[in-house]
Amino acid sequence: MTTRTFQVLLALVEGPVHGYGIRQRVAERTDGEVKLGSGTLYEVIHRLSADGMISEVDPPEAVSGSGGPRRRFYTLTETGRGALRAEVRRMERDVQYARGVELLSNG
Amino acid sequence: MPPILRIILLMYPRAYRERYGAEIADVVARDEAASGGGVRFWARVVVDHVFAARRVRRRERATGRGEMIFEDARAAIRSVTRARRFALFASITLGLGIGATASVLTVLDRVVLRPLPWDAPERLVQIGTYIMGGDELAVLSGPLLRDFVEELDVVETVIGATRARPVRGDLTAPVQLSAMRVSAGYFPFFEGRAVAGRLLDEADHAEGAGPVVVLSHAYWNEAFGADPSAVGASMELDGVRHTVVGVLDPTFTAPRPEFWGDHDVLMPIGLYQRELSEGSFGIQAAVRLRPGISEPALNSQLERVGRQRYEDEDGFVSGFGSHPLRDTVIGPEVARNLGRVAGAVLLLLLVGCVNVASLLLTRAAQRTHEFRTRVSLGATRPRLLAQLCWESVSLALLGSLFGSAIAWAGVEFFRLNAPAGVPRIAEISFDPRAFLLTVVLSLGTVLIFGLAPSWTASRARGISLNRSRSSPTRGASRLRSGLVGVETGLAAALVIWSGLLARDLVEMTTEHPGFTGESLVAASINLGGRPDGASHETMRDFVRRLDEAARAVPGVTSVAFATELPYSGNALVASMTPLESPDVAEGTFVPIVAIEGDYFDALGLRFVQGVPFDTRTDDDQMLAVVNEAFVEQYWPGLDPLRQSIKSGGEDVDDEGVYRVVGVVADVRTEPGQPAPAKMYADYTNESFGRFNVLLEVGGPGEPAVQALRAAVATLDPGLPLNEVTTLAAVEARALERPTFYALIFSTFGLAALALALIGVYGTTAYATAARHKEIGIRVALGEGEQRIVRMILRRTVVVVSVGAALGAGLALLGGRLASDALRLVHYADPLTYLGVMAWVVGTAAIAAWLPARRLTRVDPSEALRGESG
């Protein structure tokens, strides 16, 4: 799983959000370290929905009706959640290993 | 949405664009607002989207949901690049045909079709006289021009110009300049502007005006280093001080520079300044018609005004007339020749098209199997057709790429190599419209000739998938043979024409021009421009003394003088009456060459009858030598050595009678053209201001020319020696034009033949490949290899022979229409026809043998296993 994919999936854990929202959540959480370009963002969204990792949902009442283009809201599917969980576990193992060899304490 | 974003979004498949486009635009707009935009922002956006779009498209392809247009284009490019040899042949063919066509059409357009560069060019008309009942428009005399200027009222302006060769005497050595004497109105007529000072105005042409001169831009650069202070400076021309009043714009053009302009200096013609000689014909004249006036109206007025001065219709001036200035600029010969070249190039294009068609047809047949497979796998016909379209387009683009390179090279070739006398050629450059033309032409060719056969092939049904590669159907194979026959025929016609021109050229080069002595050094001298005027006595005396001085130069073995060089075409005429000639009017104008010194010997003129006269004796005898054409024309069936020629006609005072002492073989005035009647007389009796000195030199010519210069300088320090050349160079220049056209036609002919051979090769290669299995069986059954190859060759030879025969017919037809292009060879010259046909059939047989030869190496067992073919 690429960083971009991982970050998009992770952003959706907090609940359904539109494309621009995904990018904002990613930027906030990583302190701007991970920047998704507008092209990349939608390419990843398109791929994840094609693969059934995320799906489109109706926008919440509060947001619909505001100006601007109609924004599609996305949410994690079960497959997506499962894939994300598996990825996080793999990362966890890697982090534990790294701790075990005292990679971080030296830093 | 900013336009750049629109373009960015075009990179995505349509469905994707429709789904996400608006949202992407929204995000980009927010980002732009946040970051402040700028070049770096947009650069980042573009890069991001390029990569994203690539990933999207790649993924769609992998999942089989690709958008068709991209898919088809990619498949087409893959298919064309995979069939490299095919693509190469097809695009070279296209490029050759299209490039050659575009370049020739560019030249034709610029030289012939483009209107004259001056305002309302359709109202510009050249006027002139008809001389001695001839039908070629000739020059006017000064007084006649003055009459026209004063009396014509159907025109807005009348202008005249005449060449002059003033000698500039205020330099360390005298230099002869090339000059134009022009009438008032000349500069406005051709829209000339001054870049410094002014041009000539009315006052300069008026009676008693001071001598002034305008410099051409080139001469201003050359002689004054483009110094602005040249304006106001003075120049001594023919011993008279002239004031420089201005410099002409470098872009100034006058039609036919050799008649009308493009000279070192321009001066007033002086219609009212000096006594213009009634007999001095040499003025080119043109008018600008008033709007709505027709040429016949002009002609009748010319006739009325002209008759007042030259009353007699049987006299020297027999009529007055006009033709569009355009005809003067382009000249019928140039238009005709370029028209023929265009005809030849269209034939080449046709060969190219037929060749591409046959290549595409062969390829389509080869791909029947591929199409069937794809139809079986679910491809629809529109889908196949779309891909074929893309294939055609990529081929056409490749072809036009080659084509524009060839077109550019072709135009450059024309510009640099065109023979003297092709007007407006120097201004020619590669025309971007020609590039467009190549693209359109090649697209058209490929779509017409490429799609149809491919479409037929794509009609394949899936059911025959299990059969091995299909053998060619009878109809398709006939069509291919037909195409090969047609292209061979067209190529044969072109090669025959180029063969005729080449043979004609060879004949011209090898024919005896009637003179020898190519090593003779020639230079011209003009006594006519001397300020003191030159009487017969002074000219005679000058030539005598120069003869003596030149003979004293070490290394010079013989010295001759003549008013005309062979192949020069600058014939002088004198009023003569060949006595006892049936029906010749008194005072006929006879071409005459006035000679002195060792003329007959030095040029190796062959005496058919009689002997030369000695020019160096002092007696006053009037002796003449004539050529065979003269005898033929004036004294047919009579003994020329008993004849005489009376000098002058009724209206000429100085009479004398020449006794003919010899007849020489004809000397050509132009290669391959019949020689006109000519009479040779002693310079002592017939002196002209302009003449040529001919030197035979034992060693290198340069020291002898230096010595001659020195000799001239001792006789007259103000007299320049001009146009120093050798007779060999004169001869080469005369052959320039036929060489050029023979070269063009040969290039086209050979290119067409090469294309036809490619066609023969391709078709045979395909036919042999398709018969691989059959031949395997034959070999297995013990049939001789030679026999198989013969079988394949026989078919090609039959097709090509029929084609070549048809081509010969076409060549005959075209040759009849253009028979005047040939001078010495008949257009139906059997030797050329048979030779070219044998050559075409022979080379075609070789082109067929190359792929056929492979068959003899067929391993029967492998061939019979079937699918390898």
DSSP character string of B532-597: T---HHHHHHHHHHHHHHHHTSTTEEEEEEES--TT----EEEEEEETT-TT--TTEEEEEEEEEE
For residue B820, give the DSSP letter. Answer: G
pLDDT at position B178 over 50: yes
Can you give the pLDDT at residue B169? 85
pLDDT mean over B89-118: 80
At B754 the three-state DSSP class reads: helix
The minimal CB distance from A38 to the residues B19, B45, B59 is found for B45
Q: Could you tell me the pLDDT band of residue A22, with boundaries at 50, 70 and 90?
A: very high
pLDDT digits (tens, 9 = 90+) for B532-549: 556 777 888 888 888 888
Nearest residue in chain B measured CA to CA from A70: B23
Q: Could you tell me the pLDDT band of residue B49, with boundaries at 50, 70 and 90?
A: very high
Considering only residues B507 and B424, tell me which one the structure prediction assigns the higher pLDDT: B507
> CA end-to-end span of chain B, whole Å?
57
> CA B135 to CA B521: how far, in whole Å?
37
Task: Give the minimum alpha-carbon distance from A43 to chain B in angstroms, rounded to a whole number.
Answer: 6
> CA B770 to CA B366: how far, in whole Å?
9
Nearest residue in chain B measured CA to CA from A44: B52
Contacts of A71 in chain B (CB under 8 A): 23, 26
Contacts of B16 in chain A (CB under 8 A): 46
Distance of CA B17 to CAs A41, B418, B694, B713, Å? 14, 57, 85, 88
In this predicted structure, which of B11-25, B303-317, B761-775 has the lowest mean pLDDT? Answer: B761-775
The minimal CB distance from B26 to the residues A47, A50, A68 is found for A68
Task: Give the minimum alpha-carbon distance from B67 to chain A in angstroms, rounded to a whole number.
Answer: 16
Quick check: A43 and B55 CB within 8 A? yes
- Which residues of A have a CB under 8 Å from any CB of B? 18-20, 23, 37-43, 45-47, 50, 68-72
Phi, psi (5° rounding) for residue B663?
A: -125, 125
Highest mean pLDDT pick, A45-59, B93-107, B812-826: A45-59
Task: Give the minimum alpha-carbon distance from A23 to chain B in angstroms, rounded to a whole number.
Answer: 10
Cβ-proximal residues to B54 (8 Å cutoff; 6+ apart), any chain: none
Farthest-apart Cα atoms in chain B, separation = 113
**Residues comprising chain B, all counted:** 869
> CA B492 to CA B836: how far, in whole Å?
7
In this predicted structure, which of B44-53, B65-74, B336-345, B563-572 has the lowest mean pLDDT? Answer: B65-74
Question: What is the percentage of chain B residues whose pLDDT exceeds 70?
Answer: 86
Task: Give the minimum alpha-carbon distance from B36 to chain A in angstroms, rounded to a whole number.
Answer: 16
Cβ-proximal residues to B556 (8 Å cutoff; 6+ apart), any chain: B550, B695, B696, B697, B698, B704, B707
Q: Could you tell me the pLDDT band of residue B745, with boundaries at 50, 70 and 90?
A: confident
Can you give the pLDDT at residue B77? 63
Can you give the pLDDT at residue B528? 67
Average pLDDT of the residues of chain B: 81
Can you give the pLDDT at residue B809? 93
Can you give the pLDDT at residue B585? 66
Smallest CA-to-CA distance from B264 within B169, B358, B168 is with B168
Nearest residue in chain B measured CA to CA from A19: B23
Can you give the pLDDT at residue B459? 60
Q: Is the whole model's pTM more than 0.90, yes or no?
A: no
> CA B577 to CA B634: how far, in whole Å?
10
Quick check: A38 and B31 CB within 8 A? yes
Nearest residue in chain B measured CA to CA from A71: B23
Smallest CA-to-CA distance from B244 within B284, B181, B197 is with B197
pLDDT at position B329 over 80: no
Can you give the pLDDT at residue B862? 66
Burial class (CB in 10 A: 0-12, 13-18, 19+), B243: middle
Highest mean pLDDT pick, A25-34, B272-281, B416-425, B687-696: A25-34
> CA A4 to CA A11: how far, in whole Å?
11
Three state DSSP letters for B23-76: HHHHHHHHHHHHHCCCHHHHHHHHHHHHHHHHHHHHHHHHCCCCCHHHHHHHHH
In this predicted structure, which of A91-105, B91-105, B479-493, B521-535 has the lowest mean pLDDT? Answer: B521-535
Cβ B246 vs Cβ B231: under 8 Å: yes
> CA B457 to CA B460: how far, in whole Å?
6
Contacts of B19 in chain A (CB under 8 A): 46
Quick check: B49 and A37 CB within 8 A? yes
Q: Could you tell me the pLDDT band of residue A92, with boundaries at 50, 70 and 90?
A: very high
Cβ-proximal residues to B43 (8 Å cutoff; 6+ apart), any chain: none
pLDDT at position A88 over 90: yes
Q: Which two tokens stand for residue A77?
A: 């599917």
At B218 the three-state DSSP class reads: helix
pLDDT digits (tens, 9 = 90+) for B753-801: 888 888 788 777 777 777 777 777 777 787 777 787 888 888 889 989 9
Task: Give the minimum alpha-carbon distance from B42 to chain A in angstroms, rounded to a whole number.
Answer: 11
pLDDT at position B164 over 70: yes
Can you give the pLDDT at residue B530? 55
β-strands B679-682, B588-597 pairing = parallel
| Residue B653 in contact with partner chain A when CB distance is under 8 A | no
Q: Could you tell me the pLDDT band of residue B869, with boundaries at 50, 70 and 90?
A: very low
Cβ B811 vs Cβ B492: under 8 Å: yes
Quick check: B45 and A68 CB within 8 A? no
Quick check: B24 and A42 CB within 8 A? yes
| Residue B9 in contact with partner chain A when CB distance is under 8 A | no
ipTM of the complex: 0.89
Can you give the pLDDT at residue B814? 87
Interface test mutation site (partner B, options A36, A42, A45, max chain B beta carbons within 10 A): A42
DSSP string, B483-545: HHHHHHHHHHHHHHHHHHHHHHHHHHHHS--S---TT-EEEEEE-TT-TT---HHHHHHHHHH
Phi/psi-derived region of residue B392, left when phi > 0, alpha when psi is between -120 and 50, beta in every other case: alpha
For residue B269, give the DSSP letter. Answer: -
pLDDT mean over B451-460: 62
Quick check: A39 and B20 CB within 8 A? no
> CA B572 to CA B692: how far, in whole Å?
13
At B433 the three-state DSSP class reads: helix
B829-836 long-range CB contacts below 8 Å, 24 or more apart? B829/B500, B829/B503, B831/B503, B832/B496, B832/B499, B832/B500, B832/B503, B833/B496, B833/B808, B835/B499, B836/B492, B836/B495, B836/B496, B836/B499, B836/B804, B836/B808
> CA end-to-end span of chain A, whole Å?
26
CA angle B155, B156, B158 (to 5 degrees): 75
Q: Which two tokens stand for residue B757?
A: 């051979």
pLDDT mean over B451-467: 55
Nearest residue in chain A measured CA to CA from B41: A37
Q: Which two tokens stand for residue B539?
A: 């000219």
**Adjacent-strand bridge partners of B680:** B593, B625
At B289 the three-state DSSP class reads: strand
Quick check: A37 and B53 CB within 8 A? no
> CA A32 to CA A25: how far, in whole Å?
10
Cβ-proximal residues to B790 (8 Å cutoff; 6+ apart), any chain: none
| Residue B586 in contact with partner chain A when CB distance is under 8 A | no
Q: Could you tell me the pLDDT band of residue B460, with boundaries at 50, 70 and 90?
A: low
Q: Which two tokens stand for residue A13?
A: 């854990």
Number of H helices, E strands in chain B: 28, 25
pLDDT digits (tens, 9 = 90+) for B345-366: 888 888 888 888 777 777 777 7
DSSP string, B669-737: SSTTSPPPP-EEEETTTS--SEEEEEEEESS-HHHHHHHHHHHHHHH-TT---EEEEEHHHHHHHHTHH
| Residue B27 in contact with partner chain A when CB distance is under 8 A | yes
